[in-house]
Amino acid sequence: MAQRKRIPYLLVAFVVFFLPSLALASFGIQLHTVTTGSMRPEIKPGDLVITRLEIMSSVQKGQVILFYDLKSKSPISHRVISVVDNGLNVNVTTKGDANPIADGTITEPRSFKIAKVVTVVAGMGWVVAALHTPAAKYLLVGLLALLIIMYVVEKRFGSKKEEKVKDKLKIPDRNPYVVEGKSHV
């Protein structure tokens, strides 16, 4: 009986902590926090950009893509200002809306997967970034452990406490005024 009641708690823990990440990843969706103002005014520092992986040959001028910059060793979200598809590779040039000059050209095979920005959620990037810190992860694991401990303690000692209260109050297990489903009142 106790095994049956533990499954929903474990299922809820799985759904809350792991399922969203698995679902997003399976659809090629990623969350990124914007840390610079290079895309102002449309995308500001602290915004959350939601990206979806798509092939390079589908990139179009005017779209915002996210790529990894080898110099700064960080992801960058910039607008595509030029696309040249030579049949084998796609050359994409990007520029931040607030930047005076264009970035270098990205050259990748047509089938290479690149992250396209599909939506921006204002201000939520800092929340996501905070949840990815080691302190937040320890806090979430601690809360999960506390919930499990509370559940185990309640299951182990909770029913005994109810029995002690019944004994103190001398509450009968059945209603003395009802015999075989008929009331004597």
Q: Is the pLDDT of residue 94 over 80?
A: yes
**Residue 111 sits in the same domain as residue 153:** no
Give the model's pLDDT for residue 148: 80
81-95, 132-146, 166-180: least confidently modelled range:
166-180
pLDDT for res 2: 46
Q: Where are the beta strands (DSSP E) in 26-134?
A: 29-33, 48-55, 64-69, 74-85, 89-95, 105-109, 113-121
Please tell me which residue, 3 or 167, carries the higher pLDDT value.
167
Q: Taking all residues of the chain, what is their mean pLDDT, rounded to a whole number?
A: 83
In a domain, 22, yes or no: no
Please classify residue 51 by burial: count the beta carbons closer than 10 Å to its beta carbon, then call 0-12 exposed, 13-18 middle and 19+ buried.
buried
Q: Is residue 185 part of a domain?
A: no
* One domain for residues 42 and 115: yes
Q: What's the burial of 105, exposed, middle or buried (CB within 10 Å: 0-12/13-18/19+)?
A: exposed
Instruction: Report the pLDDT value the prediction gives residue 4, as an integer from 0 to 100.
Output: 47
Summarize pLDDT for 18-72 with one digit per residue, the tens. 777 778 888 889 999 999 999 999 999 999 999 999 999 999 999 999 999 888 8
Task: Identify the band that residue 185 occupies on the pLDDT scale cut at 50, 70 and 90.
Answer: low
Q: Tokens 């499990």 correspond to what residue?
A: 148
Does 182 have pLDDT greater than 60? no
Q: For residue 52, what pLDDT is reported?
A: 96
pLDDT single digits (tens) 76-88: 999 999 999 999 9
User: Quick check: is 49 in a domain?
Assistant: yes
Beta bridge partners of 66: 77, 115
State the average pLDDT over residues 156-174: 64
Q: What pLDDT, on a 0 to 100 scale, did the predictor assign at position 173?
A: 60
Residues 101 and 142 placed together within one structural domain of the fold? no
Whether the predicted pLDDT of 161 surpasses 50: yes
Residues 50 and 116 in one domain: yes
The confidence score (pLDDT) of residue 75 equals 92
The residue range of the domain holding 147 is: 133-165
Tell me which long-range contacts 64-73 makes (C-beta under 8 A, separation of at least 24): 64/39, 64/116, 64/117, 65/92, 65/94, 65/114, 65/115, 65/116, 65/117, 66/30, 66/32, 66/114, 66/115, 66/116, 66/117, 67/94, 67/106, 67/114, 67/115
Domain check: are 78 and 43 in the same one?
A: yes
Considering the domain architecture, whether residues 103 and 144 belong to the same structural domain is answered as no
Q: Tell me the sheet residues that pair with 55.
A: 113
Count up the domains in the chain and report the number. Answer: 2
